[in-house]
Structures are given as C-alpha cells and as structure tokens.
Amino acid sequence: MLELFSIEGKRALVTGAAQGLGFEIAKVLALAGASVLVNGRDEARLQKAVAKIQESGGDASVLAFDVTDQASVSAAFQGAGSNVDILVNNVGARNRRPLQELAPADVRAMLEANLVAAFELSRRAAQSMADRRWGRIINITSIAGPRARAGDAAYTASKGGLEALTRALAAELGPQGITVNAISPGYFATETNAAMVDDPEVMAFLRDHSSLGRWGRPEEIAGAALFLASEAASYVTGQVITVDGGMTSLF
C-alpha cells in the first residue's frame, strides 16, 4: 500500500519553495523519491533550502526565476524545467489594504502573482505531461478563496480565481492523463507569519474559531501534497483539500 505514495523517478517543480509551505512540500516530494526543482527569485536562499533537503536524503536542485516574468518562465521550461511530471504552484503574494487604498495596478499585480503565473506554468507543464499521459498539477490556494474578510479584497479575489482555475484545468486536462487539484491552507506558523504567531489576539482567535485551536506547523501541509502527487490520488481531480485545523468546518 505504501508504494502508492512513492513518486520515485518523477520530476517535480515547486514554486516559492525557499521557505515556508513551499519548502516543506518540496522536501516531502524529494524524500518520496522525486527529483525536485526548488524555485524562487533569490538564488542564495534557494541554495540553502536545497542543502537542507539534500541533508535529509532528498534529491533537489535550484531553479531560480520570477514566475511573473514571461521571458524567465520561457527560459526555465526550455531548460531545467522541461519534462516536469509534478507542478506545485505555491508562489503567492498578499496586499492587505482597504478597498479605497488599492489601485487597479495593485490588483493586477496580485492577479499576476497568484493567478496568471499559475495559469502560465500549468499551460507549459501540461504540454510535456500530455505527451507522457501522466501529470500532477497542485495549486496552493487559501481558505480566503471561498471566504472573505474586510481589507483583503485583491487576495481573496485572486485565490478564489485560482480555485476556479483548478476546476477548469481538471476538466480540460483530465483526458490527457493529468490531474489538477488544490490545497487550501489555513493559519500556518511560517516565517512570513512570524509576527502574527506571537500575537495573543490571533492565538485567541484560533482557539475560538478552529477545531484544533492552534497554528498549523508548516510540515503539516506535506501529507496532502504527497497524496495529490502520488498514485494514491490517481482518481482525484478538480478537488480542493482544506488543511486548516477545522477552521472552515467549525460553526
């Protein structure tokens, strides 16, 4: 049964993987047997992430490029990023500001990073996946996609769009042997959220509004990612797995 979770011999690309959830996903895919391309814009940080994965026994290498830059994306997929079996669209940007403080340019930038980049990377990766009649695309969305709060309109719109894109790509790419799914994280204690993790008001909010009553540990995203990347999820497509400690299910 455990062999269903092996991705030995597969080639994976994880965007935004220098730290946080992206790093944990890249690490688990590498430890499950994949050769993982660790993406980001800062090559020095990526080298450190790759070294950690290699020290754990995984196969990983750096692939630095900006997912919002078309020329860089094209070069990546003509080079080391070609023939990817597993694509994890993890890169995300956030701009928490009230509606009247957001300019159209701010919204466009958010959409480019959170939605258009995932569309373009998926489009390119799907070309070689279709040739092999096997592929996995995993989009990292957010519980902010189907839900909303004041002062976060652009991010919520972009993540909601990414969920819709997940369904649309699953419908289109399924006949080619490619599954497309999403993971919707809740509150995770990543480096980016460090200030919030130490905020007693946020901790009180989590105790009151989630079943487990705590922050998620970054490594707790890994199981869902490995499942969707593996043969264990061969009949799962167009779905969103929510990993939020029970926040969205709590009444």
For residue 53, give both structure tokens.
Answer: 């994965």
Q: Active-site residue among 155, 187, 188, 215? A: 155
> Is residue 114 a contact partner of residue 106, using CB atoms and an 8 Å limit?
no
- Give the separation between CA 184 and CA 244, rounded to whole angstroms: 8
Query: Taking the CB of residue 163, how many other CB atoms lie within 10 A of it?
Result: 17
Q: How far apart are CA 247 and CA 251, in angstroms?
A: 9
CA-to-CA distance for 74 and 170, rounded, in angstroms? 23
Contact in structure between 162 and 141 (CB atoms under 8 Å): yes
Which pairing describes strands 35-40 and 59-64: parallel, antiparallel, or unpaired? parallel
Residue 187 among the catalytic residues? no
Taking 3-state DSSP, the helix, strand and coil percentages for the chain, each rounded to the nearest 5, stand at: 50, 15, 35
Phi, psi angles (nearest 5°) of residue 46: -65, -40
**Hey, which residues are catalytic here?**
155
